[in-house]
A = this chain, B = another copy of it.
Amino acid sequence: MPEITLSQAVNQAIAEEMRRDETVFLIGEDVAEAGTPFKVTSGLVEEFSTDRIIDTPISEPGFMGLAVGAAMTGSRPIVDLMFGDFLFLVMDQLCNQAAKIHYMSGGKLNVPLVLRTNLGATRRSAAQHSQSLHALVAHIPGLKVAMPSSAYEAKGLLKTAIRDDNPVVIFEDKLMYQDKAFVPEEEYRLPFGKAAILREGTDVTLIGTSSMRQVCEKAALLLEQDGINAEVIDPRTLVPLDESTILDSVKRTSRAIVVDEGHQNFGTTAEIASRISEKAFYFLDAPVVRMGAMDVPIPFSPVLEDITVPTAEGVADKARKLVAGELIHAL
C-alpha cells in the first residue's frame, strides 16, 4: 500500500469519481490552475479541463446555489469552499434549499452534491479562518456530515459522498493536508454511519473525529505509560452517527471522553455525550467528559490560540482523573 498525503487522497478520490461518472464536476474559487490555496486539486484541470474544474468569482452563496440547481437536474457537483468559516455565507443555499428539497418535494427531487470544506485552528489564521463549524450543519436534517481523520478516511469517505444521492458536507482538517497514511491502490469506499475502533481498550473510551482522532490516539499512548488502557473511536460521520459502536464500547469501558475541535457549548460533544449518558446510563462509572474547543473566537496570538484547542496531554490528564474517580462534581 502506498503512503500518500491527505491532499493527494482527496485529489485521487475526485479524479477517480470524475473518470467514472461524467456528471461529476468541481466548482469553487481558484480550483483550476491554482489548485486551491492548499494545492489539493492541482493537476485536475489538466485531465478534466476547465469544463469540469470550474473557477468561480468570489461568490460563495452564488456558486453554492448553482451547485444545488445543477444537482437537482442531473449533475453531481463537488463544491470547494476554501475555508470552513465561509459556511456562514452559504447557509441559506445549503440549509434552506439543498437540505430540504428532497423532503419538501415529497421525495421527487433530490440534490446529490458534496460540499468539501475544512476546519481547524492553530494555523495563526485568526477568528475568521480557523473555525470548526461541523456542529451547525449536523443540526440540520437532510445534510450528511463526514469528518475524515486521515488520508485513508479522506479518500474513502469522499468517494462515498460523491456517490451519495443527498447533500453531504465533508470537513477536511487544514493542518492534516500534508499528513501521510497508507491508502490501498485498489478502489475502496468507506460507508457512512460506521465508526472505526482505532485501538481497543478496557478503561476508558476516547471519541474524536478529524483532527481530534490523532489527539485521542496520542493521548492513548500517553495513558499506556500509566497503565491505562484507552479505546479510541473515530465516528467518521456525524450524520449518520454510529451510535451502537460508541455505546458498545462505553458499556465495556464504563467511562468516556468526547473530544472535538468545534466550540464546546452547544457543539458535537454535547450530542455524543448526552446519547451515551442516556443510553448507557447504568454502565457508567463516572460522568462522560466533554472536551471541545474553548468558547472564544479563535485568537491570532499563538500563545492564546494554542490553548483553545484540546491537546493529547489535556485529554490524557482528564482520562487519568476520570479513571482515578476524581472527576465528580461537588455534591
Contact = CB atoms under 8 A, between A and B. Distances in A.
Interface of A: 85-89, 91-92, 94-96, 99-100, 103-104, 126-128, 135-136, 138-142, 238-239, 262-263, 265-271, 273-274, 277-282, 284, 286-290, 294-297, 299-300, 328-329, 331
7 contacts: A135-B139, A138-B265, A266-B267, A270-B270, A270-B274, A279-B287, A281-B328
A96 B85 contact: yes
B286 A281 contact: yes
A268 B266 contact: yes
Given A127-B104, A297-B103, A88 B85 contact: no
A273 B281 contact: no
Contact of A274 (B87, B269, B300): B269
Nearest to A126: B104
Given A126-B104, A266-B135, A278 B282 contact: no
Contact of A278 (B268, B288, B297): B288
A103 B269 CA distance: 24
Closest 4 CB pairs of A and B: A277-B277, A270-B270, A88-B91, A281-B287
A283 to B, nearest CB: 8
Copies in the assembly, this chain: 2
Contacts of A270: 266, 270-271, 273-274
Contacts of A128: 96, 100
Nearest to A300: B104
Contacts of A267: 139, 266, 271
Given A95-B88, A287-B279, A104 B297 contact: yes
A329 B127 CA distance: 41
B141 A265 contact: yes
Contact of A297 (B100, B274, B282): B100
Contacts of A297: 99-100, 103-104, 141-142
B295 A141 contact: yes
A204 to B, nearest CB: 15
Contact of A88 (B92, B278, B281): B92
Given A274-B269, A274-B290, A281-B286, A299 B103 contact: yes
B282 A288 contact: no
Given A88-B91, A91-B91, A92-B88, A273 B277 contact: yes
Contacts of A269: 274
Contacts of A281: 284, 286-287, 328-329
A118 to B, nearest CB: 16
Contacts of A103: 127, 296-297, 299
A296 to B, nearest CB: 5
Nearest to A94: B88
Contacts of A279: 287, 329
Contacts of A286: 281
